[in-house]
Structure 1
Amino acid sequence: MEYQKGQDREQLSLYTTCLDDMVPRDNSVRLIDQFVNLLDLREMGFQTIATQGRPPYHPGDLLKLFIYGYMNQMRSSRRLEKECARNLEVIWLLKNLKPDHNTIARFRKENPKAIRKVFRQSVALARNFNLIGGQLIAGDSTKLRAQNSKKNNYNKKKVQRHLEYIEHKLEEHQKEMAKADGDQQQELTKQIEGRKEQKKKYQAIQEQLKSDRSSENPQLSTSDPDSRHQIVRGTITEVCYTAQTTVDAKYKFLIDYKLTNQNDKKAMGMMLRRAKSILRHTGFTALYDKGYHTGSEFSIADQLGIKTLVAIPGIGRKSQAPDPRYNAENFGYNKTNDTYTCPQGNILTSNQSHYKARNYTFKQYKTKACKKCPVRHKCTTSKVNGKVIQRTEFTENIQANARRVTESGQLYKKRQALVEHPYGTIKRQWGFDHIITKKGMKVASADLGLMALAYNLTRLINTGIGLKELLQKAIIGTKTLFLVYIKPQNSMRVIWKIKNLITLNFGLKPDYSYF
């Protein structure tokens, strides 16, 4: 049987084509090239990465390399260094430049703010193609593992356990020393010195934790200092970061992201302020899950004039009445008299004292009728005060959200389909379930920013517009990314420049009648 034969590796060949002909005209790498070429990188604040003895690389070339890498599931600086020498698309994109892995890694490390601005330009481009509706958004968070093991994350209790263990071992060594002689004593002396060094290390960590007053339960991560030990799912925990994202409903474009090391409780207000700034109006509806159900955050949303729909969490076991019919939500509130009425018709009043909790103030409502109430055993388990209802300063905001959720019908059910789409692509398909950088949140945010940028550009290509139509009908501005619809009143000089730009970069030859 005859098989197809490959070319002799030692046969000399003369190629009659140039590098540009080896990359198809509709290849997405050309969009990356043009996207970056027409950005004002100096205005965005990109830092030039200097190299010893040679001129520095242009920030645009390194940015192109990272965008291409993230769009093709490559984040490692060493992997990208290899691609510069063997990947035809990368060779075309960088014009045969071959930066080393240290230069590549430093560019990502030193430009987190500038990378965020480039992401904003991808949002502006999508908006100008009418791909962002701005009427319905969904917010959520996901955990991204940090470059810090659980072993190298400490809190006060963990350090105390280590110190107690070391003290116990030192006592054992001292007892063994009394019985040992010769070589055994030398070996035990080494072990004791090692334990003492460990003790100094943990005592230093203990002092750092004591001086940290930013939270009630401070943590210290030694490899990636800003990462925190958090619950990821159920009882599964990781040392990680929390990525907050906002997704527009129309084509599932990411319009915002922020990397934090906190949970979702206090995140909604911050993300809504940012969404208002990005969309430039407050006439949109925002969907969030029950992790964002916090009274103070509802208050912020109401002050901004933004309609929110947040899932209502179940009532905690301690707040449940023995009979659900006597739960607090079934007590009617009279705003005029500032009283509650229980299902039995008794009036609960307040002494008008305001009590302060950790993040809010509240008033208490109770009645003396509880003492003789025939259904008290169904209403409360308290044997002293009877039924006590707490009304916080944010109760009205929480109740307003509950009404909106009830009246919205099927609208809230869209949340998961919207907000999980980017996570499915980024974490499941691309495998970006962890932060590849370390040494702080600012550097980690650059990694997340490149993920979000790559996702948006991929969505832009996959929306069905097509690269040729995308590039023929739009020109990307140099200072801000915006769509320029070509109009007859444009001067011939401008038309000539636009026509040449399209022809030279994308091989298209629009005639003047198009303009």
Structure 2
Amino acid sequence: LNRLTPDFKTIAEFRRKHPRAFRQLCRHFVRFCRDAGWLASREVAIDGSKFGAVASKKRVVSRQALVREEQALNARIDAWLEGLDETDHEEAHRDGPDDDQRRRSLERLKALRDQTRDSRERMERLGIQHHVTGEPEARLMRSPQGNRTAYNLQTAVDTDTHLIVHHETVQDGDDSRQLQPMAEATQTALERGNLSILADAGYSNGEQQQRCEERNL
């Protein structure tokens, strides 16, 4: 290859275009290491890392903000309608440039109100409090650097070889609900019954721990 190496953007673009193939490659690699006997340990450590999204915090829209915006737009529309009614009572109404402009302005307000309402209702159906415009899979998460738009990358690592045996990107801002799904996915990847799972206090969740014990994890 004459020392030809791919640029990091090339790798990122390949991963973006072929996410299924990339995930299958990771599974095949773990399977290869498992069959070769390199993952014989029954001890796995899991942890979560916050990876920053491209979109900034300015692109975050909250459901509460949409409610306030919808109320404000309804108030503006009501004020416009009241103003038009007063004009009709004060003078004979005749179509003209001013009337057309008022109608267009009113239609723009109504369209913006409907768009805001649709966004709010969609967030309610999805059960989310925040939406990142332009990067809807990202979430506003707390990090040591403060709140930022990010992804929560869960990783399970074999404690002997330090090889990653499973990874998953989730939208939860903390790790409290990730113990059971990560333990079960790791158990499936390694094809082992009992596993010793190491996790920090961020995974402390009595319900999750009980489920893991019931499944011999």
Same fold (TM over 0.5): yes
- TM-superposition CA deviations, 1:446-484 (whole Å, max 9, x none): xxxxxxxxxxxxxxxxxxxxxxxxxxxxxxxxxxxxxxx
Paired residues for 1:469-484 under 5 Å: none
Q: Distance in 2 between matches of 1:163 and 1:149?
A: 23
Partner of 2:90: none
Q: Tell me, which stretches of 5 or more residues in structure 2 are unaligned?
A: 87-97
Partner of 2:67: 160
> How far is 1:266 from its partner?
1.9
Q: Distance in 1 between matches of 2:117 and 2:190?
A: 50
TM-score, scaled relative to structure 2: 0.72
Q: Distance in 1 between matches of 2:72 and 2:200?
A: 42
Q: 2:160 aligns with which of 223, 238, 250?
A: 250
Change in Cα spacing, 1:149 to 1:165, as seen in structure 2 (3 Å) is farther
Partner of 1:224: 135
Partner of 1:295: 206
Paired residues for 1:156-305 under 5 Å: 156-167=63-74, 189=102, 194-210=108-124, 212=125, 214-215=126-127, 217-233=128-144, 236-262=146-172, 263-305=174-216
> 3-state SS of the aligned residue for 1:141?
strand
**Over alpha carbons, which structure has the higher Rg?**
1
Q: Distance in 2 between matches of 1:127 and 1:111?
A: 24
> How far is 1:301 from its partner?
1.6
Q: How many residues matched?
A: 202
> How far is 1:112 from its partner?
2.3
> How far is 1:245 from its partner?
0.6
TM-score, scaled relative to structure 1: 0.34
> How far is 1:287 from its partner?
1.0
Paired residues for 1:440-451 under 5 Å: none
Q: Tell me, which stretches of 5 or more residues in structure 1 are unaligned?
A: 1-19, 24-28, 30-67, 81-103, 179-184, 307-515
> How far is 1:197 from its partner?
3.5
Q: Distance in 1 between matches of 2:77 and 2:142?
A: 35
What is the Cα-based RMSD across aligned positions, in Å? Answer: 3.6
> 3-state SS of the aligned residue for 1:250?
coil
Contact 1:141–1:242 (CA under 8 A) maintained in structure 2? yes
Q: Distance in 1 between matches of 2:206 and 2:169?
A: 23
Q: 2:25 aligns with which of 83, 96, 118?
A: 118
**Residue type of the partner of 1:261?**
Q
Q: Distance in 2 between matches of 1:202 and 1:151?
A: 17
Q: Distance in 2 between matches of 1:270 and 1:148?
A: 28
> How far is 1:296 from its partner?
1.9
> How far is 1:204 from its partner?
1.8
Which protein has greater RCO, CA pairs closer than 8 Å, 6+ apart?
2
Determine what percentage of the aligned residue pairs are the same residue. 17
Contact 2:31–2:189 (CA under 8 A) maintained in structure 1? no
Q: Distance in 2 between matches of 1:228 and 1:173?
A: 37
- TM-superposition CA deviations, 1:354-410 (whole Å, max 9, x none): xxxxxxxxxxxxxxxxxxxxxxxxxxxxxxxxxxxxxxxxxxxxxxxxxxxxxxxxx
